[in-house]
Amino acid sequence: MSDACCAHPEDEHTDVHDAEHGESVERLWDVDEIRGAALSGVLLVAGFLFSWAGQEGWSHGLSIAALLAGGATFVPGTLRALVKGRIGVGTLMTIAAVGAVLLGEVQEAAMLAFLYSISEGLEVNRPGSDGGSHSTEG
């Protein structure tokens, strides 16, 4: 960061100072939801590749793992919010994922969890964010 933003010299710019100017303190990779989304995405792609190769057993197992990795970023907060009587977008996503699994569409549930975990990670890392989720309110 340059000293053009304020009267502070370059060497006085710290994470706290940057946060005062509304800049994100964390690197994107430091956000748990982003790491969960990345893991979910890798597992999801691997599952698609195994499906394409005709290995449905491996594909199904990797899709379940992708669903768990992506869902772990928002389902716990959603459940905590539900216990407190609050419903948010995380509740809708959890219900949609469970519904997809019940219909036998595990890959679609995993894709939903992957995409929503990216959304959660970007929301947590948004400049000016208090680090809380916009959807699970937990």
Angle between helices 56-71 and 32-52 (to 10 degrees): 170
Least Cα distance to 135 among 89, 94, 91 occurs for 89
User: Is 110 within 8 Å of 67 (Cβ atoms)?
Assistant: yes
User: Is 37 within 8 Å of 118 (Cβ atoms)?
Assistant: yes
Question: What are the residue ranges spanned by the domains of the chain?
Answer: 31-138
Task: Sort 57 into a burial class: Cβ within 10 Å, 0-12 / 13-18 / 19+.
Answer: exposed
What is the pLDDT tens value at each position of the chain, 138 positions in all? 444 455 544 544 434 344 445 555 457 777 888 899 999 999 999 999 999 999 999 999 999 999 999 999 999 999 999 999 999 999 999 999 999 999 999 999 999 999 999 998 888 766 665 555 544 444
User: Is 59 within 8 Å of 50 (Cβ atoms)?
Assistant: yes
pLDDT for 44 equals 96
